[in-house]
Amino acid sequence: MHRKQRRGKPQGLTLSDMMFRKKMMKECVQQAANDTTVEVMSKRALQRGLWLSVVSVSDAFGIGPDRMKKFFEVYQKNTDELQQMISEVDEDYGYEKLRKKAEKVCGTRIIHLYEDESNG
């Protein structure tokens, strides 16, 4: 005859152990939800930043749909090149090459966000 499986706390665990486990699981689930929320907010901010750039370029230079299509083709090409540099060398190399190219295009010094100018 099979013994009936008991529900509730596993044998050998105290009520305190069970409460601690439940608390830890709840905290883990909450942290995962927070991480997902931060990721979604970051992606939305990035998307909105790109929209703002597109609108600003259009307003400043009268760029319409045809030239904007060309912009996005080149944007994709540059994205692919960046990903290739990252995969072939590493992130630091890829992003530094991008930063230097952006400096050249803008004609001004560009630093990483939140980087203290005295460290660069």
| Site of tokens 């601690």 | 20
Choice between 117 and 64, residue whose per-residue pLDDT is larger: 64
Mean pLDDT, the chain, rounded, equals 86
In the chain, the percentage of residues whose pLDDT exceeds 70 is 87
C-alpha 56: how far from chain center: 23
pTM for the whole thing? 0.60
CB 85 within 8 A of CB 93: yes
Q: According to the model, what pLDDT value does residue 9 have? A: 64
The pLDDT tens digits of the residues spanning 89-110 come to 999 999 999 999 999 999 999 8
Q: Among the residues of 62-90, which ranges form H helices?
A: 65-88
Q: According to the model, what pLDDT value does residue 21 have? A: 83
**Long-range own/partner contacts, residues 58-65 (CB < 8 A, 24 or more apart):** none
Q: According to the model, what pLDDT value does residue 44 have? A: 92
The pLDDT tens digits of the residues spanning 9-44 come to 677 788 888 888 888 888 888 888 888 888 888 989
